[in-house]
Amino acid sequence: MKKYLVEFIGTFFLVFTVGMAVRSGAPLAPLAIGASLMVMIFAGGHVSGGHFNPAVTLAVYLRGRCEARDVTPYWAAQLAAGLVAGLVVAFLFGGRASPALHGTVPSAIVEFLFTFALAWVVLNVATARGTTGNSFYGLAIGMTVMTGAVAVGGVSGGAFNPAVGLGVFTMGLESARQLALYLVSDFAGAAVAALAFNFVNGRD
């Protein structure tokens, strides 16, 4: 239960930061989002692995570093955290926002690519034998999300995370169609990243 609680806490603060930064129009929203993920990984990574993202959990499972019995509870904790964070943000701003409009094909492409990049970075800095015991993994992962938010946030909303997708849908920032796109593209990107990692590194 400790692992699942840590996953809930870390995912909650990530999604809460996304919602508060975006809805307040903060000019440094991508930096705040990446930094939030970074500090939560440093805080909880030693307990749960610091996934805070159902797509990352899938990648780590396919890589062989997450037990099958933990996958569903991790997903439940992460998605519950995204939902609760979305409800809190909507309450603080007095209701839901108006959904953004994104092109389906461009969104699918960039969500797939940057979720692939995120999962690829996670697997290489946090699970590979060659980087065992490093102290930079949280920074590397957080900055990957920041990079994606800056580069393609305007194209897809920059979720790269089904829990974030659920959260921003709950806040009203994204449509149900965009949430479905996040689920498909983000899980697909993470799965392909795991396959690429296993091909390059083996199941060390």
Structure confidence by residue, pLDDT tens digits, 178-194: 999 999 999 999 999 99
CA end-to-end span of the chain: 28
Residues 6+ apart with CB under 8 A from 6: 44, 47, 48, 50
Q: What is the pTM of this model?
A: 0.96
Find tokens 């999962």 and name the residue. Answer: 119
The least confident of 54-58, 131-135, 145-149 is 131-135
Could you give the dihedral angle defined by the CA atoms of residues 161, 167, 170 and 176, in that order, rounded to the nearest 10 degrees? 0
Q: Which pLDDT band holds residue 110 (cuts at 50, 70, 90)?
A: very high
Q: What is the mean pLDDT of residues 71-89?
A: 98
Q: Which tokens in the block code for residue 190?
A: 């993470």
Give me the pLDDT at residue 116, please. Answer: 98
The answer to whether residue 203 scores a pLDDT higher than 90 is no
The answer to whether residue 197 scores a pLDDT higher than 70 is yes
Rounded Cα distance between 78 and 99, Å, is: 22
How far are the Cα atoms of 3, 49, 107 from residue 157, in angstroms, in the given order?
29, 26, 8
Give me the pLDDT at residue 202, please. Answer: 81
Rounded Cα distance between 131 and 128, Å, is: 6
Segments making up each domain of the chain, as ranges:
2-201
Q: What is the mean pLDDT of residues 140-160?
A: 98
CATH 1.20.1080.10 fits 2-201, yes or no: yes
Q: Is 133 left (phi over 0), alpha (psi -120 to 50) or beta?
A: left
The answer to whether residue 85 scores a pLDDT higher than 80 is yes
Residues 6+ apart with CB under 8 A from 133: none
Q: What is the mean pLDDT of the chain?
A: 96
